[in-house]
Every structure is written in structure tokens, then in C-alpha cells.
Structure 1
Amino acid sequence: MKEEQKTPSAENPVKLLKLELKPAKHWAAGIPAVLAALSDLQEERIAFRGMKALLKMNQRGGFDCPSCAWPDPDDERSPIGEYCENGAKALAEEATGKKLTAEFFAENAVADLASLTDYEIGKKGRLAEPMYMPKGGTHYQPISWQDAFNKIGQHLNALDSPDEAAFYTSGRTSNEASFVYQLFVREFGTNNMPDCSNMCHETSGVALADVIGLGKGSVTLDDFYDTDVIVIIGHNPGTNAPRMMSALEKGKRNGAKVIAINPLPEAGLMGFRNPQQFNGVIGHGVKLADLFLQVKINGDMALLKAIELLLYEAEQRAPGQVFNHDFINENTVGYQAFIQQLSTYQLHELAASAAVPVADIQAAADILRDKKRIIVCWGMGLTQQKNGVDMLKEIVNLLLLKGSIGIRGGGVCPVRGHSNVQGNRTMMIMEKPRQEQLDRLQKVFGFNPPREHGYDVVKTIKAMHEGKVKVFFGMGGNFLSATPDTTFTAAAMRKLKLSVQVSTKLNRGHLVHGEEALILPALSRSDIDMVNGVHQFISTENSMGVVQSSKGMLKPVSDQLLNETHIVCRMAKATLGDRSVVNWDLFENSYDAVRDAIAACIPGFEDYNTKVRQRSGFYLPNGPREGKFKSSISDTRAAFSVTGVPLNQLAADEYAMATTRTHDQFNTTIYGLEDRYRGIRNERRVIFMNPVDMEKAGFAEGDKVDLFNYDDGIERVARLFLVVPYSIPEKDTVTYFPETNVLVSINNTVDESNMPASKRVVIKIRRHQEV
């Protein structure tokens, strides 16, 4: 058997499920979303427990949804429920009464569990006690918490250098746990802190910090309600951030125009049936997109420049009527260089590169021409492109031309995924900390943190493969399934001396492990967290910079679960012992003490314990939102950028592939087998193709194919996929992740941000061959 067939994350099934195809939908949400949400509670047999929790999710005094980071309204919240279908599914997964004890692991060898699909693995239940895999073992076995911490400490202290360890963080980790985590890692002596931002929005942070001075969005939720134009590019709100559609609906009702840009016509970009509104139940709902531009994969840069070129031509015809020269002169640098390059482009060439008709591009320019209050939203459809940093800078170029940043109803809006991924970065979960951040830590705690940059996700994988990283600690997440080049990454994981995963549910990352491995079960966001007899709350930061409290209310499924802050503090004590200058006992016993330390170390969190107890939390400072800019070339002004248009050439037998998630999925967590809006049911191993491409290649609907990538001169294979005809530009294809992460080379990364560039992978498609 070939190596790639053994790789658990590639799955490589010997047979497929029975695929059912239905027409793609032209609207999202409505009653089907409500029924789907409730069905998951019934499936987990927690109807009462689940409904009780749903009524408190995203409510004041309740707990923050463990799914996406879309903000809650500052004013009144819906009593029916401030959650979406995927939020309800996420809750059902963690509120389940099914639990995995030592008996389960004794009965199930790791090799047998690895033969299951990611969906089957995730449905097994909540982890209920710490487990240990000894060297050469085949089954996980129980271990006490103290023995687990001692083992971690022994491995870390045996390293030749602290840099031989890497500490990963998932975006669900709270502010409190994130802060003590990075504090421990830096006192231990390394900045090897890869995190999920390295795979989703690192590109946003790099681009925005460089040109406007802050690597976050500049808008608030209220801006969506009072704006003229909302541009959604490289993002599918119907699946990835369903609550965003309520904001779009409100903006539309107040007169906003919506421009949707994506290779696939997504239901959530077309129509919205709000289940909280009467017309969403029995009516036709609201048409969201006034204009849909079906751009080819990585044709976004050409499209953006084509729109700007048309606006520039309109400005020349009516000087001062299209561009905001007062704003440009007062707040920006680099305008002339930008215009000089823009004027060299030809509209028809840009349109051809984007695969969008000139008339449609003109329609977009017409919508934008006389408008100033413009919001541009994007997701991983842009951030995971090879030239993603440049594309986001081009979005900023467009907004700077119009004076649309730092005003009511205008600005940039990267739509983040995990519910506290932005908060993690604010809490200094990063491999490249700024010197002033480290200076503050040193002043407050009295140790000198390491100053050298550490490993990001891609560099961590390579370092594990080379034997430079020997201990991997994962604070949440499913590292293996989330990362690229799955066969390469799995081989790297197996070279570790020790792998540790802090988790709530079983995932594939537990089944591809180091010589020794630990699974540490943690409390979930919805669980009651008791410390010294006091019901605790944690805090998170949403996509728009609001920090708010979150307080669980469900009885944990096991008394063997620890909160993440306790896990870090006890690991720190077992590792650092008497050489630590940090009072870990204080932090273990008091979240308020942790927040006081955050207030002393991180700007914007002054008087944290008071502000976080306010009714709706508090906003962090945001210079661009307030019209205060800086860039890499100016301390007081935003910067225009000069960027290029990629060629994107393909051979006759090559296609561009983008990975995406199904509607029954959040990141690597798979809730079900129905991509309802795209008409896919009971199968995930599908490849969407243009019917013209299918005919040229001799493929028919349902044909079995194998997918190949040849980057770096290496053959990567994802076997046994079904061809599905779909509305998609010619030579473009779309597949689901993590099934096709195996095709994404570890070296196919985004320029500057070093993120995996999984939204444009060059592949070949051949008829399936039995192996």
C-alpha cells in the first residue's frame, strides 16, 4: 500500500456514500435553518439541555457562541435567539451527553479510529478524562492530571533549547487563557506560537497594519445599518457567518446596495429569509445582492483594478466628483504613484483576466461612483490567495480613493472565523511580537522575554519534519486537519517526542501523534466553570473589536475537565518550578487577577475588570475607525499601494482548485453530510466543475476521478471524488476541505503572510483508478 493511502487525514475510502444532487438554492436561512438547528439537538438527545443553553447563547449574562466571531448587537438582542444554524450545531456538539472515557479508548485502537471519517470521529462525544499514549502503544490509556503535567514538564525541560517546542492556539481560547498561555511560553523561553490566524486572516493583519496602521477591521455593526454600499468579496455569509445576513438585511432596508463577488453563486449572497421576521417565515425574504460578479479564482485583483480604472475615468470627466481629494490630500501618501500605474492598464484586458463582462464591471463602478459610505467585507476567499496581501491593499486603495475609512458607514471588514481568534492575537498570541509588547511584559513581570521571532504554522510543520521541534502543544483546534500538505504534516507530527492536545472532542489530530501523546479534556464555552466555589466568566473579542464577558451555564459532562487557564497554570508550575517569577497560583485561583495583569500589559484594557462587566462590554481603541492612520512609510497617513495583476496561466490539462467548507461544517468540525445550499447531500468527496470543462475532458455527472498536484516536483493525490456540474468559471474547480488539503503544498503560501494558499491550487483531474 502506498504511503499516501495510509495517511488518516486523506481518508482514501474504498467506496463512496450515495451522493444525492438537488438544485442549488437561491436563498439562505428561513425555516429549513431552524429545523436543521433543532435536529442536531435531537440527534444528540439533549433537546431540553440544548434549548436551555440556546436561549442564553450570545445574550447578556450568557455565553459567547463557540462558532464564528460575528458581533452581537450593541442594543437589543432577539429574544427568539441570537444565534444561527451553525451556532446551534456547535452547541449541540459540545453540549452532548455522550462522553469518551478510558473504557472507550481501551476498546478502540488508534489505528481503528483513524480509519473513520472526520465526521464519524467528531460524533463520538466529549472527552471526559485525560489520556496518555505511551511510546510504542496502540491505545490511549488514562493518566492523572498531575502525572500529565509532570510528563509535559519533563519533556520540555529535557529539550536542548526552548525553541525545540511549539505552542499552537485555536481561536476559541479565551482572553484569560490566551494571556497566561503566551506568558508561560515566553517565560519558558520561546516565541514559537503558531496559531489559527496563520491559516485564516494573517493576510488581513499584515496588509492592514502596513497601509492603515492596524491589522483589524475598522467598522462596527451599526455601520452596516447606515451605509450606502456593502461589497462582499471572497466570502460566503450564508455558511460562514450566517448572522451577518441579518446586518445585510437591515442595511438593505435602509437603502444600501450590495455587490457580491465570488467564483460560486452562493445562496447567502443572493437572498435571505430571516427566521426572526414574519416575511422570512412565509414570504420571499430579502434579495441581498444587487449585483453579482462571478469572478474567476484569483481574478479578484484584475476586477478591483478594472473598477478603479472606470472610477478614474469618471473622475477625469468630472474632477472632484468621484474621488475624495480632500481626504486623499490630508490622510494619504502614494496617490500619484498609484494613479500612474493604474492608468497603464487596459479595461478589456483586466476584464478578461477576471472573467467578468465589462458591462458588469461598469455596473459595479456605477454603484460606487457617487457613494462615499462604502464597506468592503472579505473572508478566506481572498486571504488564502498567493497574492492575498496585495489584494487587500488594493481594497484599501479603493476605499482611500473614496475617503471611505474612518467615517460612519465606511471601512474595512475582514470577517473572522473562530469566535476569539482576534482576541488571541490581541492577547499576544503571535510568533512575531513587537518589541514594545515584550518590553511591557518585562516591566510588569520582571523576566526578559525572548526577542527573536518564532515559528508560524508553516514554519512549525517544516521544523517538526526536520527534527527542530520535538514537543508540540495544541491549545484547542484540530491542527492536522486544518493544515496544508496533509501527508507531509502527518509525517512531521509522527517525528515528535511528545504531542499534547487540549480538546473538548475527539479529532484526527489525536490519532496522528508523536512518540508519546497526551489528550487533555477542557471545559467548553457553555460549561459552568467553578473556581473555589465561584461561578466564573471569561471574555472574548469579536470581529469588530468589542470585548465582552461569557459565562457558561451547563453542567459539565465530567468532573475530570479543567478550564484552559488552570491547564496552563499547572503546566507552568510543573515545568518552571522555582525558577518562575510569575505567581501562577494567583492566576489559577482568580480570573480577575489575570484580567488585572492584562490591564497592566495591553493598551486598551485599562480598568479591564470594571469595563468587561458592563452590559455590552467595551470597544477597544481603533485608530482607523477614528480617522487616525499610519503606515509603514508614514506615522500619520495611510498609504496607497502599487500592486500587480497575476498571470494565472494553466496548461491544457490543468485546473485551478479552491477549497471551501460545506454548510454542515465549521472550519474542520463537520456537523453533517448536507451542503444544503449547493444541493449536495450524503457525500463530501465531490469536485465542482464547469459543464464546458466536463464536456472537453469527457466527464459526466457522477464520474469518479482522482485529483493530482505536482508542486515542488512531488505528486500529491486525493483519490475517489465525484464530478458535479456547477455554475463556476471555466478552468476553475472547488472541493471541500480538509479532504483536499493533501493537495496543498507546504510551500504554496501567501506572499508576506506565509499562510497556506489553498484558494488557488493547480491540479490535474483523471478518471479514478483502483489501487
Structure 2
Amino acid sequence: MSDKNPIRRYDGPAGGWGALRSVAKHLIEQDVPVSGARTLLSANQPDGFDCPGCAWPDRDHTSTFEFCENGAKAVAAEATKHRATPELFAEHTVAELARYSDYWLENQGRLTHPMRWDAASDKYLPIAWDEAFARIGEHLRALASPDEALFYTSGRCSNEAAFLYQLFVREFGTNNFPDCSNMCHEPSGTAMKAQIGVGKGTVQLRDFELAQAIFIFGQNPGTNHPRMLGELRQAAKRGAAIVSFNPLRERGLEKFADPQDKLEMLHNGSTRISSDYFQLRIGGDLAAVKGMIKRVLELDAQAQRDGAARVIDTAFIAEHTQGFDAFAAEVAAEAWDTIVAESGLSQDEIERAGDIYAQSDSVICCWGMGITQHKHSVATIHMIVNLLLLRGNIGRPGAGACPVRGHSNVQGDRTMGIYEKPSPAFLDRLRDVFGFEPPRHHGHDTVGAIQAMLEGRCKTFFGLGGNFATATPDTEATHRALRRCDLTVHVTTKLNRSHLVHGRDAYILPCLGRTEIDLQAAGAQGVTVEDSMSMVHLSSGINAPAAPQLLSEPAIVARLAHATLGERSRIDWLDLIGDYDRIRDLIAQVFDDFHDFNARVRVPGGFHLPNAAAERRWINPQGKALFKAHAVPTDLPVHRARASREQPVFTLATTRSHDQYNTTIYGMNDRYRGVFGERRVLFIHADDIAALGMKAGDWVDLESLCDDGVKRTAARFLLVEYNIPRGCLAAYYPETNSLVPLSSFADEARTPTSKSIPVIVHPHVPARGRELQSAKDIGLVRVD
């Protein structure tokens, strides 16, 4: 631990001077060149690059400052002068590197050469690109079946790379496409596709200017999507209601100081964000939303009795929906006692939220991974959409569904065909355009991929970006699965844990970053990305590559395809990467919505992909938006665990720190929660600490409870008193991913249940030779 007093109360707003100081600190720590300011000013600009951080859309490409604090951290991490050269690997065996922290690995800097693991020395050694591709292609061709290979995709991959990747893999012969969507917003797509015919959000950025109310569920924009705070700030200033549902008090949902507002900065001012903040229990969102719906239906019934205007939109319901009567009857039958008990909110609080909804003519509902990573996540999203349908809040200005995705192109990857369950129509189009018959059977998602590796059914793992070994659940099982592989390959910019948890043969293939110039035969190339609101735009790097040996992601995919498929392929892979316009021409042939792709994407700001639900066209078998009834769940794993134990059973949610993007650790601080220099912390209510017979500053171990009977533990976490409901805990991932059972995932969507882990808390038992630090040594203070 780098700080003797890691817990210090933070009362400031999100953003403000703290954000500016943080940006400066990270630029200095990463030794970003003097051109770093120019690099930041090129983020999210028409002639610049798309920020490699979150997928929040850009306002209008006219502001000089289109980056946020955490976007600046991402840019600094990529533009760093630090280099992880072959000399680093010559000095350390893999076993030695594995003993370092994820933070240390990240800070070794940009990888510069392709590397192959040498079993005799347990070191990564340099290898020429041609030899690497030839050896990997030989591995793939030697498999008994293409289905023995897995092809993982990270959400930061460009549209061009993703399209080539899925094309190569399907021509190779498999649909094994586990990807990061499987671990985050898969329930959003699953729920909305069945209910309203599209798996994407229905709003655009301009709708935030018109909404009378914005409801935010299970999301922390201050850390995960800081640029969203600008939209919320403007909405709050014009009087829109902003209603937040979150177990933790998150600073970004409370108040925000815009670093671009000179007066606000000069006077240390801030803007209140949430007009109402409801701290429900972890996993209680379905019950809370159902309670709101119950309230709206009760208000509507009262209006009918009084002869007043209806509260629900009967015309919209009659013309555009199906199943309302049965749904309304099921809601009426749900007891308020159950709703209150499972939500953790009072009936008065739920009714107030319902009243705000009923009184607002245009409503946006936003949600993040606090909704999607539960067993009942699909049902919860159905309930949120039900709420919107009640008053016709889909398909009109200032209203709609807004799943806020994380990675900068996770939505685009899925649009390009990165999906283990492709539609027959998409496969038919690939066949017609490229002249080969793609595989029709479904492939493995992330959970299925780990299970297949464990069972020896999949023997090769190829990762296009990401940090699979650390991002996935059930860490011990995942590591064991990867080590069973004959081959593991990772395309990456920096060293991470996954490169050290490898198969019997292993490669690291370093690629260009989003900020760097991609020079091909036809000149400097741009790639495209799709943001969280279906805007597609160009991204062009401005910095010299970190090393002359680096290849772009499209080039790596194309050269691997060429080396693997050879004369068998009908596609001239190497010609495609000479000019990415050729790739985009092929994308336009496969996807009708990308017609005139090259011309439309060169318009500043790009173009918007059509959304049928936003036009009130419902592309599902019923041809209508569906009301979906669900009972409030009362038999989840945490219910069963509490029924079988006398000792307190808590619900643990994993979360990011503020100096973190997914598994990338930029720093050791979580400023908004008052944590400095420490990551192994456990946020807990003061009364729960007392009930355990402990005190803030004690160290504890965690044990998760699962129906499979496997004991999973995570050791040595610092108890931090925090404003969180009783019975609920929060801790950072990936430190607590080991507690998430591989067998525990969302119904229908199979997303790991990382936000609802039943756990028990034990006093920490130090490992031999390690002393336990006491609260006296640390000097803790309360954090609200």
C-alpha cells in the first residue's frame, strides 16, 4: 500500500479541479510527449481519433475539448513513452512477471515486437511476423474441427477489423465468437430484441435536450461515462427531473462541476445532478420498476374513476403493443409487501418515482451493468421497457430506451457480425457476397468458451484485444481452462495478465493504437466505430506508431487469414488492407444500412444507423412491442444462501474504481469514493460492520456461496464504512472476479452475475509470514 491513510472523505463534485489535476498527473506519470496536449485535443474530432475509452457519443464535433478525465487517462496510457520491449521479457520469466500486479504490468508501456513463449526458458522471445502467422495458421489447420478454436473479440476493435475477423473465422468454419458483450450488455440486446425488435438503444443525443425526465438505473457515469455528465448537467439546469436508482451514493450522480465552465470553475461551483436518488438494494431494480408501474396503473385507475385524462397512453398501447391486459393484471396481483421487501425502498419512495414518471411527457430510461449482471437481468430490462411503453415513451422526441455501453465500439462489433448466434439472413448474405457456405450452427459465448476449454473441446484461443483471463468470472477455472489449450494468441497494445496465463504454445501480437497513424499502401488509413447511440464515424490517428514493427488490427487479421486459408480462400485478404475503403465497400454489400459507406462516413460526425423501434416499427414475429410480465424474484441464489445460513449473508456487487477502465488499472485511487493507494477494499454499511463484531479498518476475507458447492474465496480486503444499504457490499473487479461462479449467469443471456454474488465475511487470516495491518496503523475516517 502506497499511502498510510488510504481512506479520506471526498466532498467535492465530480469533474472540476480534481479532474484537471488527475489528467495532468496521468500525463506526467505516463511520460506523454509534449505533443500530448495536441493528442488530447484531437480526441473525438472530425479529423482525429475516436477516444479509446467509453462509447458515449460526441455532441457536435465543434468543441475543442471533446474528452473527459477518464478518456484522457486512456489516451495517456496509449500515447505513453514507456515501452515493453524484448529486453523486458529477456529479464523476466513468465512466472516472475505473473507475480507482479496488473497495475505494474500496465505501466511497462507499449509492446513493440511480436513474441512467442519459449517453454525451455519460460520466457517470451521475439519472432518475425511472417513466422508467427505461419505457425498460428499451421495450428489452426491441424485442428480436427474448426469448432475446436475460439475467437474472442474486445469492444475496442474497429468496424473494419471486426468485419474482417468474422469473415475470416466463418470462412475458416466456426461461429465460436465469445466477446465482451457476453459479459456486459448481452441482456440488453436479448431483452429488447424480443420485446421491441431491436437490440440497441432507441434514443439519440438530441433527445437528452428534450426529455422532461431521465431515469438512471445501475450506472455510475461519473467514472464510466464522464461525458454523459455534461448532458445530465444541461438537463438539470433546464429543470428536467433526473431520477437515479443505485445502491451506492455515486458522486457523479450527485453533483458535477464542468471543467469547461469558466464561471463554475472560478467559483468552485457545481450543478446538482439527481433531483431524486433512491438507494435500493443490489438487484432490487426489477421490484422497484414494477412498483413504479403499479403506481402508474393505480393513478390511471383513479383518473378513470374521476373522469380525468388517462395516465397511460391508451392510443399507443392499442396501436403498437401486445399483451397489455394480461400484463396489467399480473402487476396488480403483485403485493406491495413483496415489492418493498425486494427493492429495499419504501412504498412512499417507489410511489414518488412513479409520480415523477406519470407527470413527465417525455422520459428516457438509461441503464448500465448494474442492471445487466444479475440472474434476472433480462426480466429487469423487460420491466424498464414495459415502463416506457405504458406512456408511449418509445419512438418520440425526448424519450426512449438508452442502454449505455462501455467499450468504444462494442456495439459496432456486434453490428459487424461478431456474434455466436448469427441470423440465417446474415449468413445467407455472406454466402451470396463471398461465395462460401458459412457455418450455420451456433458457437460458444464467453461462459461456453471457458467450459469448452476446461472439457478439452476447444484447444485454441485467439483474442483480438481485451484481457480475457482477468475480465472473466471464476478466475481459477478460467486460468485452468486457458492453460489446457494447445495455443493461445493475443492481439494487444500492452502487457496484461492474459499473456501470462497461456497455452502450450503462446504468442503476443502487438498492434497499433487508436491514436496512431495507420499507414498502408494507399496512404494513411482511418477506421470507423459505432457509438452507444448508433452513430458511425471515422477515427484517424495522429501520432507516430509506438514502434515501427507494429501492425494494425485489420492487417493482423488479414495476414492471419491469408496464412491460414491460403489458396482455399475466395478473398484477396492482402489486397483489402492496402486501402480500408475496400473493406468498407464489402461491408456495404453485406449490410444495407451501410450503403454508400465511404461517402457517408466522411461527412463530419458520420451518419446514424436507422432504428426501427425509434420509428415505431416493431421487427419481431408479433409486429408489435410486447408487454412482458415477470414476478418479482424471491428465489435467487442470495435468497437460498440466506435461508441455509445462520451467519449474515451479503450481496456483493463488483465495480470499477475511478482510476480504472474495465481490467486496465490506470492508477490506485478512487477519488470520488475517498480511496487512495489501495484496491483491496470492501464498502459496507456501518451497522453491518458492527453486527459482524468488527470495525472500519479491519481486514477480512470473502467467501462466495453457490449451489455448485465449490468454495471460492478472495483474501484480505479492508473494511470501509460507506453509504450503502444494509446487507449489500461492493468491491472492485478484477480482484473479486474469483468469487463469481462460472455456473451463475443471467437467464436467457448468460452474462456472469458479477453484480449479485452471495458472500459471507470472515476475519482475515494472514498468510504465513505476512503481518496483518490494523486500523490503528491506517487511521481510517468515515466515508459517506
Runs of 4+ in 1 over 6 A off after TM superposition: none
More displaced 10-residue stretch of structure 1: 526-535 or 611-620: 526-535
Report if the CA contact (8 A) 1:25-1:678 is conserved: no
**Using the alignment, how far apart are the partners of 2:167 and 2:3 within structure 1?**
47
**Using the alignment, how far apart are the partners of 1:280 and 1:510 within structure 2?**
45
Which of 610, 614, 621 is the aligned partner of 1:625?
A: 614
Give the deviation of 1:60 after TM superposition. Answer: 1.1
Give the deviation of 1:710 after TM superposition. Answer: 3.2
**Using the alignment, how far apart are the partners of 1:513 and 1:757 within structure 2?**
25
Structure 2 counterpart of 1:476: 465
More displaced 10-residue stretch of structure 1: 47-56 or 681-690: 47-56
Structure 2 counterpart of 1:721: 717
**Is 1:227 matched with 2:211?**
yes
Structure 2 counterpart of 1:298: 283
Structure 1 counterpart of 2:318: 329
**Using the alignment, how far apart are the partners of 2:102 and 2:180 within structure 1?**
19
Which of 346, 363, 371 is the aligned partner of 1:357?
A: 346
The residue matched to 1:658 in structure 2 has which SS? Answer: strand
Report if the CA contact (8 A) 1:226-1:254 is conserved: no
Which of 178, 185, 188 is the aligned partner of 1:201?
A: 185
Give the deviation of 1:22 after TM superposition. Answer: 1.4
Structure 2 counterpart of 1:28: 14
Give the deviation of 1:359 after TM superposition. Answer: 2.1
Aligned amino acid, residue 479 of structure 1: F
Report if the CA contact (8 A) 1:19-1:683 is conserved: no
Give the deviation of 1:54 after TM superposition. Answer: 0.4
- Matches for 1:495-514 after TM superposition, within 5 Å: 495-514=484-503
The residue matched to 1:343 in structure 2 has which SS? Answer: helix
Aligned amino acid, residue 244 of structure 2: A
Report if the CA contact (8 A) 1:279-1:285 is conserved: no
1:397–1:136 Cα change, 3 Å: farther
More displaced 10-residue stretch of structure 1: 21-30 or 300-309: 21-30
**Using the alignment, how far apart are the partners of 2:12 and 2:32 within structure 1?**
32
Structure 2 counterpart of 1:143: 127
The residue matched to 1:604 in structure 2 has which SS? Answer: helix
Aligned amino acid, residue 302 of structure 1: A
Structure 2 counterpart of 1:8: none
**Is 1:260 matched with 2:244?**
yes
Query: What is the TM-score normalised by the length of structure 1?
Result: 0.96
More displaced 10-residue stretch of structure 1: 686-695 or 278-287: 278-287
- Matches for 1:625-704 after TM superposition, within 5 Å: 625-631=614-620, 633-634=621-622, 636-647=623-634, 648-649=638-639, 650=642, 651=645, 652-704=647-699
Aligned amino acid, residue 336 of structure 2: L
Post-superposition CA distance 1:22-66 (Å, at most 9, x none): 124362111110110121111122252211100100111110000
Structure 2 counterpart of 1:155: 139
Which of 241, 260, 264 is the aligned partner of 1:280?
A: 264
5+ residue gaps, structure 2, are 768-784
Give the deviation of 1:434 after TM superposition. Answer: 0.2
More displaced 10-residue stretch of structure 1: 591-600 or 354-363: 354-363
Give the deviation of 1:361 after TM superposition. Answer: 1.6
**Using the alignment, how far apart are the partners of 1:45 and 1:727 within structure 2?**
37
Which of 105, 114, 123 is the aligned partner of 2:98?
A: 114
1:19–1:435 Cα change, 3 Å: farther
More displaced 10-residue stretch of structure 1: 577-586 or 205-214: 577-586
Give the deviation of 1:770 after TM superposition. Answer: 2.4
Structure 2 counterpart of 1:435: 424
Post-superposition CA distance 1:112-146 (Å, at most 9, x none): 11111111111110000000003454110000000
**Is 1:560 matched with 2:560?**
no
**Is 1:60 matched with 2:56?**
no
Structure 2 counterpart of 1:50: 36
**Using the alignment, how far apart are the partners of 2:424 and 2:61 within structure 1?**
41
**Is 1:598 matched with 2:587?**
yes
1:767–1:176 Cα change, 3 Å: same
Aligned amino acid, residue 692 of structure 1: D
- Matches for 1:358-437 after TM superposition, within 5 Å: 358-437=347-426
Report if the CA contact (8 A) 1:19-1:680 is conserved: no
The residue matched to 2:489 in structure 1 has which SS? Answer: strand
**Using the alignment, how far apart are the partners of 1:398 and 1:368 within structure 2?**
9
Aligned length: 753
Structure 1 counterpart of 2:452: 463
Identity of aligned residues (%): 46
RMSD, aligned α-carbons: 1.2
**Is 1:91 matched with 2:86?**
no
Aligned amino acid, residue 761 of structure 2: I
Query: What is the TM-score normalised by the length of structure 2?
Result: 0.95
Give the deviation of 1:675 after TM superposition. Answer: 0.4
Post-superposition CA distance 1:364-402 (Å, at most 9, x none): 122111223100000000000110000000000000001
Report if the CA contact (8 A) 2:512-2:546 is conserved: no
The residue matched to 1:510 in structure 2 has which SS? Answer: helix
**Using the alignment, how far apart are the partners of 1:417 and 1:247 within structure 2?**
17
Report if the CA contact (8 A) 1:321-1:370 is conserved: no
More displaced 10-residue stretch of structure 1: 581-590 or 473-482: 581-590
**Using the alignment, how far apart are the partners of 2:14 and 2:74 within structure 1?**
19
More displaced 10-residue stretch of structure 1: 528-537 or 752-761: 528-537
Post-superposition CA distance 1:251-307 (Å, at most 9, x none): 222331100000001001011100111243124221010000000011111111111
**Using the alignment, how far apart are the partners of 1:137 and 1:185 within structure 2?**
33
More displaced 10-residue stretch of structure 1: 160-169 or 276-285: 276-285
Report if the CA contact (8 A) 1:328-1:335 is conserved: yes
**Using the alignment, how far apart are the partners of 2:681 and 2:536 within structure 1?**
40
Aligned amino acid, residue 451 of structure 1: R
Give the deviation of 1:352 after TM superposition. Answer: 2.4
Aligned amino acid, residue 386 of structure 1: K
**Is 1:192 matched with 2:181?**
no
Give the deviation of 1:729 after TM superposition. Answer: 0.9
**Using the alignment, how far apart are the partners of 1:208 and 1:18 within structure 2?**
48
The residue matched to 2:577 in structure 1 has which SS? Answer: helix
Post-superposition CA distance 1:705-737 (Å, at most 9, x none): 111113210111111111111111111100100
Give the deviation of 1:76 after TM superposition. Answer: 5.1
The residue matched to 1:721 in structure 2 has which SS? Answer: strand
**Using the alignment, how far apart are the partners of 2:432 and 2:541 within structure 1?**
34
Structure 1 counterpart of 2:782: none
Post-superposition CA distance 1:221-252 (Å, at most 9, x none): 00001110000000001001000000111222
The residue matched to 2:56 in structure 1 has which SS? Answer: coil
Report if the CA contact (8 A) 2:93-2:121 is conserved: no
Aligned amino acid, residue 148 of structure 2: E
**Using the alignment, how far apart are the partners of 2:119 and 2:595 within structure 1?**
47
**Using the alignment, how far apart are the partners of 2:271 and 2:445 within structure 1?**
42
**Using the alignment, how far apart are the partners of 1:455 and 1:447 within structure 2?**
22
The residue matched to 1:687 in structure 2 has which SS? Answer: strand
